[in-house]
A and B are shown apart, each in its own frame.
Chain A
Amino acid sequence: MTESTEAHMPKMKLARPVIPTILALAFLGGWEWFVRTGHVNEVLVPAPSHIFKWFYESLTNGELLSATWVTMRRLMIGFAIGAALGVPLGALCARVRWIRDTLGVLALGLQTLPSVCWVPLALLWFGQEESAVLFVVVMGTVWAVVIAVQESVLSVQPLYLRAGMTMGSKGWHMWSHVIFPAALPGIVSGMKQGWAFAWRSLMAAEIFVVILTGFGLGSLLHAGRELLRMDQVMGVMAVVVGVGLLADVIFFAPLERWLRRSRGLER
């Protein structure tokens, strides 16, 4: 759309957030009405007002915040470990042929394995402890990061390497000043994917496994299921969606956009 001089244009812009809001309210209102009038069983589908009520209560009694904190801490630590392992391993895969043919191929395979599949082993190795969840999150993150780093390092333009070489760059300087900066957009995309995998694997782990050391969002959702409180289940689901969106909107999307814009890859 072009910036038109016509007078009605500002009105159109104002309308943009208005229409979705009206539709959302209408949807929630309709839902509420269906439940209240008994068209749907309230046990199966809770009314939006009940979900909001649960949300308010668990927010005020601190339950929701503490669960979110426990989950976020696991996610951050697990993701940090996964990324810290994945970046050097990916670089190594890109640099050394036989490592690429072994670890690189393994990473490709394990990336397709949903990391919940690690839960039985993690429980056996670490017990119902924090380290078991962290292990599952790390397994969800690390392979995606390894592959992204490997691919983006391998696709760095040879011209940059030649230019760097003739100016006297080599070894660690070449890695830190040419290869990594050149590969950064790809690495960030890989991190974003790793983050998404970590988030999914953490939820799965928390729902399936009772971790004695902390009560996270997944546990809260599981508890809601046991109590047959679908307002809690749906409330937690909404929070999980919200956290995932926030990480993307606040962190990854602006970072990617900035990287691409500053290099002229996007306007």
Chain B
Amino acid sequence: MSNEKTITPALTLRNVTKRFDGASGRVTAVEDISLDVREGEFLVLVGPSGCGKSTLLSLLAGLEHTNEGSILLGEEPVRSPGRDRLVMFQQDALFPWLNVLDNVLFGLRLKPDLTEAERLESARYYLSLVGLADKEKARPHELSGGMRQRVALARSLAPNPRVLLMDEPFSALDALTRDQLYGDLQKIFTKRKKTIILVTHNIREAVCLGDRVVLLSPHPGRIREVFEINLPRPRRINDPELASLAAKVTTALSSHLNDGINGGPHA
């Protein structure tokens, strides 16, 4: 395997289409998506509800399968879920029957090549990275929503996946906690240089976190525009430059939405 070649993107999507058979007939969730995700890139998929961004993430995770097109991780096609692509969900999805440390250890314990001591060391390292070193014996329900999402982040990072997939992980949190987590996540991203794909409907969040922001439009979900965000890190959500960039993305989004209403979609 030549995973480390810099020319090979971390993830490659080629003409990906996914349809669902719902109660009201066949729905095309995403249509003809082609995208390269660079190694070590923070990519954000943004768009209104119905643009298929969560579906896209499930496809990348291997939890769903494409109808057409292909998804490659490095050079390997994605067929099933795997530890190389860990997912952080909208709800924290922590296991309530395990304490914080055992939750973080869950994925690590599925890596047979590690010793138990290495697993513990790794789990504690990531817990301290998210600032929860002193909470390892706590049960998930004893933590606040923000802390739980931090544990979920540590749990996703600990097995050292090649790609971290984040499905609106901040949307259920209050604004203050969210701003704090934007800072934490950027710090970790800068430190660990992980490939991250984040899905959100919050454009400010997208511009604040992403190296690249991919704008999707709904019915069916398609890529409309890709924005390179070259602001220096760490970025603050209230930064005026960031705000004006976000406004640009918002304008682009509403013009595409009007397109859809007036003249039908043009890809």
Contact = CB atoms under 8 A, between A and B. Distances in A.
A258 to B, nearest CB: 11
Interface in B82-106: 82-83, 85-87, 89, 91, 93, 95-98, 106
A263 B81 contact: no
A159 B86 contact: no
A160 interface: yes
B221 interface: no
Nearest to B86: A166
A115 B14 CA distance: 61
A167 B98 CA distance: 15
B73 interface: no
A177 B106 CA distance: 9
A178 B107 CA distance: 12
Contact of B110 (A160, A168, A184, A264): A168
Interface in A217-267: 262-264
A173 B81 contact: no
B63 interface: yes
B72 to A, nearest CB: 18
Those 7 A-B pairs whose CB atoms lie nearest each other, nearest first: A264-B141, A167-B107, A163-B93, A263-B96, A168-B110, A168-B83, A181-B97
A238 to B, nearest CB: 39
Contacts of B86: 166-167
Contacts of A262: 96-97, 139
B159 interface: yes
Contacts, number: 62
A32 to B, nearest CB: 52
Contact of B97 (A163, A169, A173, A184): A184
Q: Is the interface of B mostly helix, strand, loop or mixed?
A: loop
A89 to B, nearest CB: 23
A159 B89 CA distance: 8
B96 to A, nearest CB: 4
B140 interface: yes
Given A168-B107, A262-B139, A264-B141, A162 B97 contact: no
Listed residue (B81, B91, B111) with the most chain A CB atoms within 10 angstroms of its CB:
B81
Given A162-B87, A173-B110, A167 B97 contact: no
A167 B106 contact: yes
B142 interface: yes
A263 B85 CA distance: 28
A111 B226 CA distance: 60
Contacts of B81: 165-166, 168
Given A166-B85, A168-B83, A159 B140 contact: no
Contact of A182 (B63, B95, B141): B95
B61 interface: yes
Contact of B140 (A163, A182, A264): A264
Interface string A179-223: 001101000000000000000000000000000000000000000
B87 A163 contact: yes
B63 A167 contact: no
A167 to B, nearest CB: 4
Interface in A114-173: 159-160, 162-169, 173
Given A162-B89, A168-B110, 8 more contacts: A160-B93, A163-B87, A167-B107, A173-B110, A181-B97, A181-B98, A262-B139, A263-B141
Contacts of A164: 106
B63 A165 contact: yes
Contacts of A159: 89, 91, 93
Contacts of A160: 93, 95
Contacts of A167: 83, 86, 106-107, 110, 155, 159
B61 A182 contact: no
A166 B162 CA distance: 13
25 contacts: A159-B91, A159-B93, A160-B93, A160-B95, A162-B89, A162-B93, A163-B87, A163-B89, A163-B93, A166-B81, A166-B83, A166-B87, A167-B86, A167-B106, A167-B110, A167-B155, A167-B159, A168-B107, A168-B159, A169-B110, A177-B106, A262-B97, A264-B96, A264-B139, A264-B140
A263 B89 contact: no
A181 to B, nearest CB: 4
A182 B2 CA distance: 40
Contacts of B111: 168
A182 B97 contact: yes
A166 B82 CA distance: 6
Nearest to B141: A264
Interface in B43-65: 61-63
A154 to B, nearest CB: 18
Contacts of B95: 160, 163, 178, 181-182
